[in-house]
Structure 1
Amino acid sequence: MANRRASITDLAKALNLSASTISRALADHNDVSEATKERVRQAAQELNYRPNQLAAALRRGQSKTLGVLVPHITGNFFPHVVHGIATEASKSGYNVLICQSDEDVRQEKKNIDLFMNAQVEGILVSLANTTQDFTHFNDVKDQRLPLVFFDRIIEGFQGPNVSAVVLNDYLGAYQAVSHLIEQGCTRIAIFSGPLHVNINKNRYQGYLDALQAHGLPLRREYVSHHADINLKSGTQAMRKLLKLPQRPDAVFASNDLAIVGAMQVAKEQGLRVPEDMALIGFSNEAFTELTEPTLTSVDQRSEQMGRTAVRLLLKLLNRPATAAPLKPVVLEPKLIIRESSVRLPANR
């Protein structure tokens, strides 16, 4: 018995008391004698009894738990978002149940089912990059369970129990590419993820519009889209670029890992960064300050995103079913300029 948690039933058997008496004694009810309470407390300690807080909460009609689903917990961005979520949830007395989809829509669907079966009070989710069928979220919406998307969202998916928090990815990309142009770059490549994902689509549009605004043509051979944008895809894309008759003089990637891969290849080929090839990433991962040269990147306000997502969800918990949908919250990006993109002496 001492090797596992005892239940109220175990205590009742050990003390020859009813389960209801044990429960009232543990709750310090006045109708139980002090002597009995002391016997129960001593037995609980000896038998390693711990109350099931979740079961008690469910009996009250509340689990005080939020489900959090992310594509992965590697890198800097999602761990910081989750930290913001957990911190903000704790302030309001909520626990978080964290799952990852591993960028797999099938696992995403399983995790949503898990959350609903666990009777969480709300779900916060960032989509897998393979998600194009959203019917599993219709079930959440139909059950009026508060649902907040963050970062990767379903655009146009609305309901009285649905909201979202995103970064202005378009602006982040526009600022990054404009900065490269201001540094004298005229042949700018982009490494992007799949365009059915909102963040990639918006960053790509920011890239296109920045080129157009500065009178630069779009060169299709400089555009690379990848199912999974990471170190490997950045390395592969850079090798292809350097085989072109006219290589680009800058690369913007919608992921910091991809731009690190690009930097490694550039150095292998004897190119100087930023003199021969200026580089900018997206996310402001911790390692961007440790590379040589340090990497310019777009900060995604990760922890702020997590905190904002929880605040939105708590608003949804307390809104009537007939209320109008809450508008998505759009956070402003910040371009962190470091050595990898600064080519003009006046800006060094």
Structure 2
Amino acid sequence: MPRSSNSPARPTEKRKSVRLVDIARKAGVSVSVVGNVINGGRGNSRVAQVTADRILELAKQLNYRPSPTAQQLRGKRSNVFGLLVASAGDPLTSYLVEHLDEEVVKHGCQTLIGNTAVAPGRFEACVDEMTARGVDGIFCIVHSIFPGDRAQLLARCPNTVFYCDPGLADATFVEVDQIAAGRAAAEHLFASGRHRLGFAVLDPASAAGKKRVEGIKAALAGQGRNPEDLAVCKGAPGASEPARPDERSMDWHTPEEVLDRIIDELVIGHRADAIIAHNDFIASALLKQLRKRGVQVPSEVAVVGYLNHYLCEYVDPPLTSIDLRHHQTAKAMVQAVQAMIDEGSIDSPRERRALSIEPRVISRASA
């Protein structure tokens, strides 16, 4: 005996996907009419508006979802973008995730987020899933310290835009101007009466850190100051980044010995009256350690961070920081991938394209 429509579904029963033929039967029309209406109504201009409205309402009631594969075969867009992140909760990119999603929605599309740092091989698995779903493009904002085959990603989805340089000859990427970031921080400190600067980069191999040092030196030269007014604490192997004992929890913690080393080298040794930190998390940890060691901020030493994370407002004193203008980055990334889509399929790799975002200083009590 057939089960009534009001009976609950059996636990082992697999829900079938709704097809065009199912909607056609409900609407009492042919499959071709349903297809033409759902796919834009271009194929049959004789469909009455009342019939088209009924078909669309039935599709909504039945929770119809078009097949990405079928859409690709018809040359139609999925209106979905992949968004690869190390973790959606990563404090270094959480703002950018938010702004990218908002910017995509403004274009009438959606994002499919893939967390890549939770398990080995997850980056490639996320790429597999996104390409199988027929995404229109992919935004990759996974930091370079995390694994993932970026070259294979670009080969499988040419409409990919990276956040920061992935080191690929044919990549399109958006990045913050690191030289401008260093220069802006130094000029702000000079304008507030500081003279001797320290830069806590921690990672000796950090390309971004080297560029920020270049920017600080440019600010020194621009004001005719002595290059020796800058000292750089380059950290040591094993202490180049905040420790993450658990990738899933993303527990960011800077060891106290690292903080003491920064203070010993820059404040005690160099007699710096201002420290520019590699990011807001190191800067906020420095604020606590400086207070613990009896150094007053900002009366004795000013501190500037990098990122303008919301924690800047909750530390004491509130942290001056370099704002990365993630809303501008999101706009640039979406515009770049839209331009790729408009360009259509290509037979040869695209030329390398770098888009630069000018950062700005957000002044607070720490500097």
Instruction: Return the TM-score normalized by structure 2.
Output: 0.72
* Aligned residue in 2 for 1:232: 253
* Alpha-carbon distance, 1:30 to partner: 8.9
Match of 2:315 among 281, 291, 310: 291
- Please state how far the C-alpha of 1:273 moved relative to its aligned partner: 0.2
Higher mean alpha-carbon deviation, 186-195 vs 79-88, is at 186-195
Q: Which has the higher contact order (CA 8 A, sep 6+)?
A: 1
- Cα distance in 2, alignment partners of residues 54 and 194 from structure 1: 49
1:101, 1:128 within 8 Å by CA — same for their partners in 2?
no
Deviations 1:232-259 (A, max 9, x none): 2274422223456636443211211110
- The 2-side partners of 1:128 and 1:104 are apart by 15
Which region of structure 1 is more displaced relative to structure 2, 245-254 or 292-301?
245-254
Distance across 1 between alignment mates of 2:185 and 2:54: 68
Partner residue in 1 for 2:212: 203
The alpha-carbon distance between structure 1 residues 235 and 280, as it changes in their structure 2 partners (threshold 3 A), is farther
1:195 maps to a residue whose letter is A
Stretches of 4+ moved more than 6 A in 1? 12-15, 28-45
From 139, 149, 162, the counterpart of 2:162: 149
Deviates more, 1:83-92 or 1:320-329: 320-329
Identify the structure with the greater helix proportion: 1
Once residues 78 and 178 of structure 1 are traced to their aligned partners in structure 2, the CA distance between those partners, rounded to angstroms, is 26
> How many angstroms apart in 2 are the aligned matches of 1:278 and 1:99?
39
Q: Which runs of 5+ in 2 are unaligned?
A: 10-14, 244-251
Question: Which range moves more in the overlay, 80-89 or 300-309?
Answer: 80-89
Q: Does 1:167 align with 2:179?
A: no
Are 2:87 and 2:117, in contact at CA under 8 Å, matched by a contact in 1?
Answer: yes
Amino acid at match of 1:84: H
- 1:303-342 alignment, distance < 5 Å: 303-319=327-343, 321=346, 325=351, 327-341=353-367
CA distance in 2, matches of 1:72, 1:219: 34
The one-character-per-residue Cα deviations of 1:92-123 (angstroms, maximum 9, x if unpaired) are 33221122333988433333333223222211
CA contact 1:70–1:127 (8 Å) conserved in 2: yes
Residue 64 in 1 paired to residue 79 in 2?
yes
Give CA-to-partner distance per residue, 1:247-281, whole Å, 9 cap, x none.
64432112111100110111122221012221110
1:121–1:304 distance in 2 versus 1, CA, 3 Å: same
1:273 and 1:108, CA in 2 relative to 1: closer, same or farther beyond 3 A? same
Q: What is the letter of the counterpart of residue 253 of structure 2?
A: K
Task: Determine if contact 2:204/2:235 at 8 Å carries over to the other structure.
Answer: no
Q: Helix, strand or coil for the counterpart of 1:280? A: strand
Q: Equivalents in 2 of 1:131, 1:300: separation in Å? A: 21
Give the paired residue count. 331
**Structure 1 residue identity aligned to 2:319:** L
Distance 1:88 1:324 in 2: 24
Percent identity between matched residues is 18
